[in-house]
Amino acid sequence: MIVAPDASAIRVTKLVKSFGPDRRIADGLDLAVARGEAVSIIGANGAGKSTLLRLLVGLVPPDDGEVHLLGAPVTRLKGRALAASRARVGFVFQKHNLVSRLSALSNVLHGVQARRAGPRTWHQALARREDREEAMACLDAVGLADLARQRVDSLSGGQSQRVAVARMLMQRPELVLADEPDASLDPRAGAEVMGLLARLSREKGLTLVFVSHHMAHAVAFADRVVGLAGGRVALDERAATSDPDRLAAFFDEPPPAPGDAVSASLPLQRIGAAS
In sequence order, what DSSP letters do the residues of 205-266 get, joined into one string?
T-EEEEE-S-HHHHHHT-SEEEEEETTEEEEEEEGGG--HHHHHGGGGSPPPPTTPPP-TTS
Confirm or reject binding of residue 187 to ligand ATP (CB under 6 A). no
Part in contact with ligand ATP (CB under 6 A); list of ranges 43-51, 70-78, 82-90, 119-127: 43-51
What per-residue string of b and e applies to 233-260 under the rule 16 or more CB within 10 Å gives b? bbbbbebeebeeeebeebeebebbeeeb
Give CA–CA dist 160/151, Å, rounded. 10
Smallest separation (angstroms) from ligand ATP to the CB of 50? 3
Smallest separation (angstroms) from ligand ATP to the CB of 23? 6
CA distances from 164 to 27, 150, 170 (A): 33, 14, 10
Confirm or reject binding of residue 13 to ligand ATP (CB under 6 A). no
Give CA–CA dist 187/197, Å, rounded. 15
Smallest separation (angstroms) from ligand ATP to the CB of 28? 16
Smallest separation (angstroms) from ligand ATP to the CB of 200? 24
Closer residue to ligand ATP, CB minimum distance, 110 or 214: 214
Confirm or reject binding of residue 51 to ligand ATP (CB under 6 A). yes
Confirm or reject binding of residue 40 to ligand ATP (CB under 6 A). no
CA distances from 259 to 90, 234, 262, 270 (A): 35, 11, 10, 12
Exactly one of 9, 38, 42, 49 binds ligand ATP (CB under 6 A); that residue is 49
Confirm or reject binding of residue 50 to ligand ATP (CB under 6 A). yes
Three-class SS state of 168: helix
Exactly one of 39, 42, 47, 176 binds ligand ATP (CB under 6 A); that residue is 47
Smallest separation (angstroms) from ligand ATP to the CB of 49? 4
Confirm or reject binding of residue 184 to ligand ATP (CB under 6 A). no
Confirm or reject binding of residue 225 to ligand ATP (CB under 6 A). no
Binding site for ligand ATP (CB under 6 A): 19, 23, 25, 43, 45-51
